[in-house]
Structures are given as structure tokens and as C-alpha cells.
């Protein structure tokens, strides 16, 4: 008689280039997964770099230290040294990436316990190298979590050209890691299809989408953000997130310029990133008074900011980013905010399926301005879109259920399960 696998909890090492207190969808996804796996009874050790993203500045409590051990929401976090960078140049970006690979391998070797499985999250793609090395050393399986396909996303965003040497090298490294991972968890169905096309077998792929913790999105209803900035009587269009190349936040400034004759409409841009300074300068050059910029805010304040707005803006740089589903889309819906999505592909399909907002072409400020004007005149649609999005997230993107899916992947690759 064949014996069933031993039923027990797992010891998981999670390699995370981005992790709270850093902002952004990557940090939120990985912390959410780690937190839920711990709540399910597993032992999770996160190996992460010193916080520095996106400004490239390490907070004082971490500065000058090679190693920091801490606990966040019940999750053991081992911080390792990293070359801090705001990614102003490709050389600095690569130094940031590879310094974490090296320090994560050292940190993983010296974590002080045995692990059943390694979970490495990309991008950066190079985190997969650390996952592969540590898995071979511990003689355990490893799972490659793919939030974005790299270098595909860099080519689609216009950062790399398809025929560049770095692009070709990136594709070869990606294939090397895909072949050696025991399982791969892309965040969208479109990414799964691309991996299938690249030769990854279907039985090696499980979609584990981004999600939200509805119970943690405790939105304020007192409108304090409106009062603080003297815009309590305005129609507020908010963008809250990273301001990088792929996000295409420039479109908000141009739309604000197109709507400068509508004083009742105000834009609120919250976040930092490599494109922020250029966008602020553009707004100043246009002498716009209908747009306010705020630096990155603590994650726990984002729900209150979203709730204070009338509509959330979710842009992407161009329509080539067809397999991206920004986490800020789900967060806005979790706060019952309607969205204006400037993207195509899978994200547009979700918005249309949920009836949770309006889809307009990316990088088209005139179309964005027209969409905002239409929503100003239709408050009933705003309410319906927000409620529809909320119900859609509750049904399909609750983080607890998605963490359960990741748990099943970990059980599968380790050959273990639990009653």
C-alpha cells in the first residue's frame, strides 16, 4: 500500500527585493502572501533588502547595517545589505539588483533554520538566481513568482530595445530560470499564456493573482484629506502609487491642463518615483493650479486618500503592457472607488467585466479629460461603478483565497499536504 505524504506545515523562505515599509504593488503582494501563510500555520522567513525604493534612500534605522532581523505582522524578516539606488541609470539599477542577489544568498545561507521550499519573486528577474542557488544548496524545490515578465515589460515600456544586448541576455536568463524552477506562479492569465508560448509546460504554471485584504482597507469617511488641502468642494481625481516609466502618470498633468477651465475638478497625485520630478516641473511650467502633488504616504493612509476622492486614476504608459493588472486598480475597488483605466489588455477586460469604471486609451490626455467631464455629470454612474468594483474584488481577488492557492502550489512542489 502506498503511504500518503506526511501532513505538516511548511518552512518557507521568501526572497523579496521589495518589501514593506517600501511602497508599491510588489511589496504589498509579498507581504500579504507572507502574512497569510503565517496565519495558515506555516513558518515564513522573508529575506529582503534594506528599504530604499523608490527614492534610493535607506531609512536611518537601517542605514549602515549589513543585517537586520525584525518581525512585521508575525512574519520573520531578515534584511540584508543592498546598494541603494533610485535607478537613475542602468548601471546603478543593475548594481542595486545584483547586490541584493549576493546578499540574499548569504542571508539565506545564514538564516539559521532548514527550509522546505524557496519562493522567489520577480522582477527583478535576478532574484530567481538567488532562489535557484539557495534551492540547490538546501536541496529543496523552489517556486518562481512572476509579477512581470522581464525583459518583456522593459521592452514594452520603451526602456529597452528588442535587439539590445541586455535584452537578448535577459531572455536567455529568463529561460534558464524558467527551466529550473519547480513551479511558476504568474499573476495574470495573459502572463501564463506568454510563458506557455515560450515553452513552459502547462502543468508547471499556476496563476496566483494580485489581491487585496478587504478587512484592512478600513476607509475613513470624514473627508479629512479634502479639508486639509482646501478642496472639499471639488471633484477629486486621485492617482496614488509609484511614478515611474511604466505608469505613464504624465497623462494626468496634460489632462489637468486640458481641464484648467473647470475649477471644480482637481487632480491629486500621491507617490514618488523616477518620473516625479519631471512631472512636477511640467505642471509648474504650465502654471497649473488644479493639481496637487504629495510624496509617498504610509500604506495605512492610502485607503483614506482613495475614499476622499471621487474617482481613482489607473494609467499605464502604453497599450503594449497588455498583461498588466495594476494592484492599485484592485485597491481602489476595495475602497468602493470607481476607476478610470488608461490601458488595454487584461486590465481593461477586468474593468469592463466588473463594470467598475471607464476604460480610455493610454497616453491620450484629451480622452481622459472627456471621461472625467462625463463622470462629473453622472454621479449615479460613479456610485454604481464603485459598488460594482467592490463586489468584483470580494468575489475574485480576496488575498486570503489567493494565498490559499499559493499554499497549494507549495504543497504540490514539496509533495506534502495538510488535512
- What's the grid cell of residue 140? 529543496
Q: Label residue 419 by pLDDT band (50, 70, 90).
A: very low
Per-residue pLDDT, 233:
86
Q: What is the pLDDT of residues 354-367, one digit of tens each?
A: 999 999 998 899 99
DSSP annotation of 17 reads S
Set out the domains of the chain in order of their start, with CATH numbers.
11-211+398-414 (3.40.50.2000), 214-396 (3.40.50.2000)
Question: How many DSSP H helices and E strands does the chain contain?
Answer: 15, 13
Q: What is the pLDDT of residues 65-106, one digit of tens each?
A: 989 999 999 899 999 999 988 766 778 888 989 999 999 999
- The rounded distance, in Å, linking the Cα atoms of 146 and 181 is 11
Distances (CA, A) of 414 to 10, 47, 146, 181, 380: 9, 20, 19, 13, 51
- Map grid coordinates 514539496 to a residue: 414
E-strand spans in 232-303? 235-240, 265-270, 291-294
- The rounded distance, in Å, linking the Cα atoms of 339 and 374 is 13
Whether 1 has a pLDDT exceeding 60, the answer reads no
- The rounded distance, in Å, linking the Cα atoms of 363 and 96 is 30
- The rounded distance, in Å, linking the Cα atoms of 152 and 212 is 26
* Exposure string for 129-140, b = 16+ CB within 10 A, e = fewer: bbbbbbbeebeb
Alpha helices in 218-344 (DSSP H): 224-228, 250-258, 276-285, 302-308, 327-334
- The rounded distance, in Å, linking the Cα atoms of 169 and 237 is 41
Q: What is the pLDDT of residues 328-357, one digit of tens each?
A: 999 999 999 999 999 888 899 999 999 999
**Please, which residues have CB within 8 angstroms of residue 413's CB and are 6 or more apart in sequence?**
117, 141, 142, 143, 182, 183
What does DSSP say about strands 357-360 and 339-342: parallel, antiparallel, or unpaired?
parallel
- What's the grid cell of residue 194? 506568454
Mean pLDDT of the chain: 90
For 274-292, what is the mean pLDDT?
Answer: 94
Per-residue pLDDT, 223:
59
Rounded to two decimals, the pTM is 0.86
CB 409 within 8 A of CB 208: yes
Amino acid at each position: 500500500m502506498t503511504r500518503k505524504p506526511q501532513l505538516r506545515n511548511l518552512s518557507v523562505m521568501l526572497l523579496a527585493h521589495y518589501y514593506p515599509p517600501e511602497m508599491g504593488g510588489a511589496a504589498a503582494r509579498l507581504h500579504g502572501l507572507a502574512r497569510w501563510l503565517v496565519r495558515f500555520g506555516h513558518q515564513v522567513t522573508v529575506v529582503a533588502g534594506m528599504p530604499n525604493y523608490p527614492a534610493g534612500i535607506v531609512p536611518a534605522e537601517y542605514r549602515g547595517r549589513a543585517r537586520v532581523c525584525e518581525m512585521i505582522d508575525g512574519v520573520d524578516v531578515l534584511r540584508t545589505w543592498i546598494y541603494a539606488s533610485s535607478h537613475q541609470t542602468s548601471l546603478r539599477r543593475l548594481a542595486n539588483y545584483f547586490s541584493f542577489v549576493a546578499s540574499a544568498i548569504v542571508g539565506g545561507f545564514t538564516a539559521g533554520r532548514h527550509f522546505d521550499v524557496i519562493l522567489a519573486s520577480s522582477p527583478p528577474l535576478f532574484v530567481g538566481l538567488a532562489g535557484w542557488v539557495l534551492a540547490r544548496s538546501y536541496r529543496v524545490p523552489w517556486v518562481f513568482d512572476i509579477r512581470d515578465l522581464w525583459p518583456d515589460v522593459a521592452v514594452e515600456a520603451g526602456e529597452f530595445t528588442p535587439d539590445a544586448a541586455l535584452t537578448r541576455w535577459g531572455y536567455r536568463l529568463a529561460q534558464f530560470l524558467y527551466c529550473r524552477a519547480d513551479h511558476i506562479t504568474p499573476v495574470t492569465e495573459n502572463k501564463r499564456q506568454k510563458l506557455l508560448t515560450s515553452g513552459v509546460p502547462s502543468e508547471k504554471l499556476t496563476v496566483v493573482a494580485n489581491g487585496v485584504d478587504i478587512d484592512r482597507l478600513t476607509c475613513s469617511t470624514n473627508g479629512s484629506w479634502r479639508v486639509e488641502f482646501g478642496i472639499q468642494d471639488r471633484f477629486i481625481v486621485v492617482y496614488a502609487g509609484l511614478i515611474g516609466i511604466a505608469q505613464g502618470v504624465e497623462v494626468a498633468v496634460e489632462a489637468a491642463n486640458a481641464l484648467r477651465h473647470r475649477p471644480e475638478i482637481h487632480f491629486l497625485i500621491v507617490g514618488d518615483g523616477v518620473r516625479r520630478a519631471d512631472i512636477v516641473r511640467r505642471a509648474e511650467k504650465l502654471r497649473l493650479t488644479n493639481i496637487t502633488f504629495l510624496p509617498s504616504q504610509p500604506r495605512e493612509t492610502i485607503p483614506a486618500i482613495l475614499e476622499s476622492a471621487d474617482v481613482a486614476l489607473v494609467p499605464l504608459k502604453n497599450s503594449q503592457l497588455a498583461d498588466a493588472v495594476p494592484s492599485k486598480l484592485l485597491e481602489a475597488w476595495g475602497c468602493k472607488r470607481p476607476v478610470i483605466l488608461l490601458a488595454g489588455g487584461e486590465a481593461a477586460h477586468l474593468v469592463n467585466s466588473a463594470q467598475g469604471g471607464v476604460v480610455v486609451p493610454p497616453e491620450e490626455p484629451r480622452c481622459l479629460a472627456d471621461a472625467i467631464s462625463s463622470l462629473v455629470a453622472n454621479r449615479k454612474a460613479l456610485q454604481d461603478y464603485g459598488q460594482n468594483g467592490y463586489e468584483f474584488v470580494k468575489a475574485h481577488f480576496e488575498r486570503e483565497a489567493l494565498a490559499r492557492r499559493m499554499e497549494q502550489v507549495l504543497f504540490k512542489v514539496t509533495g506534502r499536504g495538510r488535512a
